[in-house]
Every structure is written in structure tokens, then in C-alpha cells.
Amino acid sequence: MPDATFACPDLTTFCRLDELGLVAVGQRVEPQRAVIACRVVEPDDWCHRCGQHGVLRDTVVRRLAHEPLGWRPTVLEVLVRRYRCADCCHVWRQDMTMAAEPKARLSRRGLRWALEGIVVQHLTVARVAEGLAVSWNTANDAVLAEGKRVLIDDPHRFDGVTTIGVDEHVVRHEALLIRMEVRDLHRLAVVAVG
């Protein structure tokens, strides 16, 4: 009798694509990376200008760096449908904002993995970039923007803080780079990094 606690294997759930509004339709495992073919779940086939029903025009592929699976860089190849309105001739793509920001190179899960890697696991930007198979500048720019949005711009980040601690330590001895962390000692969480 099969164990009732197991479910059928599901790549979409395993790779957390359902959180991004995507569904896996294929996979390719290469020696240096894993590639997951996806499509957007929601059709988004109504014209954004006049509200009429659009006609499928074609599809384009958008590649996003995703959180690594077993430290193997993972790339999402998302099939994005393009529609054309028969009335006003407006052309648009399916909405992918759940999966990534417009023109972003990292999926939201990949971005979250990178931010947690730097803030929680104390990984370097170089190691995060290697894990995502993107350039150092791409990883650094994305993590700085997301860290500002999630950690610094949050007006409630100090709610409930009763005691803070400041810790300075040398990150690299050769260049004498100093990293300062402000920690909430009650919740054991980093609230600011400098």
C-alpha cells in the first residue's frame, strides 16, 4: 500500500513556481545549470486600452535567474504570450509581475534567495552571483534595490524593538572592509546593515 502522506511529483510546487504565477511545462538538466520551461498561468487576453478581447499573436521567451536547486544555477525560460487587439491594434504581453519586475533578470524567488543569502547566511555578492549564474553587478544591483525596499523602506521595521545591538566586524582583512549590523536582540533579526 503506498504511503498516503506522499503526493505525485510536481515540479511547479517543488521549484515554488506557483508563488510566481507560473507552471512548469518542461525541464532540462545540464552539467552547469538546470533550465525549467514555464508558462504564465493567467491568460491576460483583454486589451489594456479599450477592454476588448485580444487575439493571440505569438509567444516570446523571457529568461530569469531563479533560486538554485542544490547549488546548481536554475534558469526559468518563461513562455510569454503576446496578444493583439482587433479593435485598437494595441499589442501587449501577459502580465508577469508576480514572477519578476519588468526588465528584471532575476525571478522574485531568486531575488529573495540572494537577499537571504547575503543578510542571513553572510554570503558574498560574488557567491550569490555564482549561485544565480549572473554577473556580479546584476546580483549586487538587484540585492541592493530589494534590500532597500524590504529592509530600509519598511516603516514598521522597528515595531516591537526594545533592545538593539551594534556589531562591527572585518569582512576582508586585505582591504579592511568593515561591516556594521544593527540587530534586534529580542527577535534576533538584522534590522540594518551598513
Q: Is the pLDDT reported for residue 96 higher than 70?
A: yes
Predicted confidence (pLDDT) per residue in 159-191, tens digit = 887 776 665 555 555 555 556 666 666 666 666
Q: What is the residue-averaged pLDDT of the chain?
A: 85
Predicted confidence (pLDDT) per residue in 126-141, tens digit = 999 999 999 999 999 9
pLDDT given at position 156: 83
Question: How many other CB atoms sit within 10 Å of the CB of residue 96?
Answer: 21
6 in a domain, yes or no?
A: no
Q: How many domains does the chain have?
A: 2
120 in a domain, yes or no?
A: yes
pLDDT given at position 50: 86
37-51, 68-82, 110-124, 160-174 — which is least confidently predicted? 160-174
The residue type at 41: V
Q: HEC states along the chain?
A: CCCCCCCCCCHHHHCCCHHHCEEEEEEEECCCCEEEEEEECCCCCECCCCCCEEEEEEEEEEEEEEEEECCEEEEEEEEEEEEEECCCCCEEECCCCCCCCCCCCECHHHHHHHHHHHHCCCCCHHHHHHHHCCCHHHHHHHHHHHHHHHHHCCCCCCCCCCCEEEEEEEEECCCCEEEEEEEECCCCEEEEEC
As a whole number, mean pLDDT of residues 20-42 equals 94
99 in a domain, yes or no?
A: yes
Backbone angles phi and psi of 67, in degrees to 5: -60, 140
pLDDT given at position 26: 94
40 in a domain, yes or no?
A: yes
Predicted confidence (pLDDT) per residue in 44-74, tens digit = 888 888 888 888 989 999 999 999 988 799 9
Percent of the chain exceeding pLDDT 90 equals 46
1 in a domain, yes or no?
A: no
3 in a domain, yes or no?
A: no
- Say which residue, 23 or 3, is predicted with more confidence: 23
Q: Please indicate, yes or no, whether residues 142 and 168 belong to a single structural domain of this protein.
A: no
**Beta-strand relationship, 177-184 and 91-93:** unpaired
- Say which residue, 159 or 125, is predicted with more confidence: 125
Structural domain including 169 reads: 161-194
pLDDT given at position 190: 67
